[in-house]
Homo-oligomer: A and B are copies of this chain.
Amino acid sequence: MGTLGIVGVGLLGGSIAAAAKKRVLAQRIIGIGRNAERLQRASDGGLLDSYSTELSQAAEECDVLVFCTPVNRIIEGVRTAAASCRSGTLITDVGSCKAGICQSLSAELPSNVSFVGSHPIAGSEKQGFEHAKEELFSGSVCVVTPTARQLEMPSFDAQLSRTTRFWQALGATVIQMSPEAHDLALAETSHLPHVVAAALSRALDSENRQLAATGFRDTTRIAAGDPDLWLAILQDNRDAVLQSLARFREQLDSFQESLQNRDVEGLKKLLEDAKTSRDGLN
């Protein structure tokens, strides 16, 4: 690849840059963002070859553009970039919600530019390129989310393959899902856990802080994530998150009822099932 443009050089964007540098995936990496000072620092740190605060102008130079901005800024950014891209440019993103973004963009881009939605399932509660890791995607799963409309387009296969090869080159295993199926699944595995961790964190009386050990810290770690970023995600995937929350509350009901009713066997079975489910992740 000639030039890789990364829009939004934070933890994810920075990690893509670091991973691409290490694997010599592009001849040049441009960081694109709003804060020149931060971009200069990422550049000084060796993540970027150059940077720009002018999206339209920088987009002209890119063969592949990856949007790593908060989900509520992706559609507008891709529209702006697509209007000035060279023919054949591939645009993808890392947003945690896919249906709104992919349905909107697959319908309206100029025909010489392709957008393929992606979501690398990797990250951290930390923010900023200072926490970027060149191995963040190594061994991780990345979901690519073509829309039904895109899959019917004859030229789309080549762009889907390019996107897949891009994430594979960064070390990820790529799976394909519809944007809608992705959003339902991620509500359960990521967005609901964020709400739960945040609610648990808020439920902590500050007087009890010194009694919160590893267990509490693990369970609430993601509540330290960027509130604006999560606000955008929860708003975007609102319906699926509410559905997941309802299912979670049914689980809580089961635990509560077995405790209230002193149903020892029932409670034991719930704890055992939970352990089996969690052990299945290792």
Q: Chain A residues in contact with chain B, CB under 8 A?
A: 121-125, 140-141, 143, 175, 185-186, 188-190, 192-228, 230-231, 234-235, 238, 241-242, 244-245, 247-249, 251-252, 254-256, 259-260, 262, 264, 267-268, 270-275, 277-282
Contact = CB atoms under 8 A, between A and B. Distances in A.
A212 B255 CA distance: 23
Contacts of A124: 214
A185 to B, nearest CB: 5
Contacts of A281: 209, 212, 216-217, 220
A200 B208 CA distance: 23
| Count of identical protomers in the assembly | 2
Nearest to A277: B201
Contact of A185 (B208, B223, B230, B241): B208
Contacts of A201: 274-275, 277-278
A274 B201 CA distance: 5
Given A141-B210, A143-B211, A231-B268, A189 B202 contact: no
Contacts of A198: 255, 270-271, 274-275
Nearest to A248: B203
A214 B122 contact: yes
B202 A277 contact: yes
Contact of A275 (B224, B245, B278): B224
A189 B196 CA distance: 14
A231 B267 contact: yes
A200 B190 CA distance: 11
A133 B264 CA distance: 32
A225 to B, nearest CB: 7
B245 A209 contact: no
B277 A204 contact: yes
Contact of A186 (B125, B211, B214, B280): B211
Contacts of A194: 215
B252 A245 contact: yes
Nearest to A120: B213
A242 B213 contact: no
A143 B278 CA distance: 30
Contact of A272 (B210, B222, B227, B275): B227
- The 3 A-B residue pairs with the shortest CB-CB distance, nearest first, are A198-B274, A227-B271, A199-B251
A123 B217 CA distance: 12
Given A143-B211, A198-B271, A259-B242, A278 B188 contact: no
Contact of A279 (B192, B224, B234, B244): B224
A223 to B, nearest CB: 4
Given A218-B219, A275-B223, A123 B213 contact: yes
